[in-house]
Amino acid sequence: MNSIDFHAASSHSGKPSVAAAARAERVAWVDYAKGLSIILVVSMHSALGVGLALEKTGWLHPVVAFAKPFRMPDFFMVAGLFVGGALNWPLRRYLDRKVLHFAYFFVLWTLIILLAKAAELDLTDPRAFVLAFLWALVDPYSSLWFVQLLPFLFLAARLLRGAPPAVSISLATALHVLAARYPDGGQYAMGSHLTGWMLVDTFCLFLVYFLIGHHARAAILAFAASVDRRPMLALAGLAVWGVLEWYAVARGIAERPGLTLVFGLLGGVAVVAVASLMAKVRLAPALAYCGRQSLPIYLAFALPMAATRIALLHTGMLSDPGWMAALVTSVAILAALALEALVRQTPASFLFTRPSWARLAPPDNEPALAAGTRGS
């Protein structure tokens, strides 16, 4: 998500400036927040897939249910956090970095996934495959809806840049409440059947979080800094939120129109707090690495996830749905990370790095996918 470089700069004396140190800390917690979010996403798909295959649930299912109100809202809130600096770019550059960037990976990975599943989906006939591919660009396959939606959120932010924040957020809130009134009800629910078209429904549901991330940037960063200064108070607040979240999910309160926004934002704030605390003590740096590689993981996890689940079902190595889902999650994430690392300096790098022919503007001397995810 080619964007802003948040690495700490040094002053002329050779020592990090106060502003540079703040930027470095900001990167740390953002990476942790994205790492938590991507792991929750992969866990959800893994747990529900295993549950459907075994026709029973395990210990990971309650975790997935607990995270549902805030799992995707947090992703979109963080995505909107740093869009402000890009809104005044020349249009060509903005379209390249914020629209074509995601469109390229969406089309590419739609093709890859359909090729991998052609036999399973009975798409061996070329005409049937082309039709399925074209339809998948309209109605995305599985988790790719997220990558399809991002360009439209960035376009909306650009179009609304002159509008007062209260007006744009009020409009987005109305769209969210309207969409939340038509819950989809399926196990893989994105949350709405307002129109039956996933792009429109998810746009209505998640635009508000993206715009809040953008317009409330200063408040979110200040909150993260306050967590760093008062960790014990933050932990107490997280404990209260955890009980409230558990109760609301168990009673279905978090699914009610309007309250979906409340619990989405509360969960997003909780993720910021957890991420800030983890960054403060540099706990689990592998989680931050997953955050920096969140888009490669998002693009590539589906195929190893499905392959691992099928292998475990056939071999009978595990029968417990909870531990099976946990193993499927781990393998899916590690396989996606391994693939990105293996192709990084090879001709196959186009899988995760946008080539020059797919650009409207030259790159900003930064890795096209992994590092850029920080500022999307």
Residues 48-106 pLDDT 10s: 999 999 999 999 999 999 999 999 999 999 999 989 989 999 999 999 999 999 999 99
pLDDT number for residue 121: 87
The whole-model pTM stands at: 0.87
Q: Which residues contact 57 (CB under 8 A, 6 or more apart)?
A: 47, 51, 321
The amino acid occupying position 110 is T
pLDDT over 90 (residue 271) = yes
The full set of domain ranges for the chain reads 20-375
The residue assigned the tokens 């997220």 is 146
pLDDT number for residue 182: 74
pLDDT over 70 (residue 5) = no
Residue 219 to residue 215: CA distance in whole angstroms: 9
pLDDT in tens, 120-164: 888 889 999 999 999 999 989 778 999 999 999 999 999 999 999
pLDDT in tens, 199-231: 999 999 999 999 999 999 999 999 999 999 999
CB 149 within 8 A of CB 206: yes
Q: Which residues contact 65 (CB under 8 A, 6 or more apart)?
A: 249
Residue 133 to residue 165: CA distance in whole angstroms: 38
Distances in Å between the alpha carbon of 279 and those of 169, 271, 274, 318?
Answer: 30, 12, 9, 34
Q: Report, as an integer, the average pLDDT of 176-191.
A: 68
Residue 359 to residue 376: CA distance in whole angstroms: 17
Using pLDDT thresholds of 50, 70 and 90, give the confidence band for residue 191.
low
- The DSSP letter of residue 9 is P
pLDDT over 90 (residue 6) = no
Nearest to 144 by CA among 100, 118, 180, 112: 112
pLDDT over 80 (residue 15) = no
pLDDT over 50 (residue 14) = no
CB 122 within 8 A of CB 128: yes
pLDDT over 50 (residue 2) = no
pLDDT in tens, 274-319: 999 999 999 999 999 999 999 999 999 999 999 999 999 999 888 8
pLDDT over 90 (residue 37) = yes
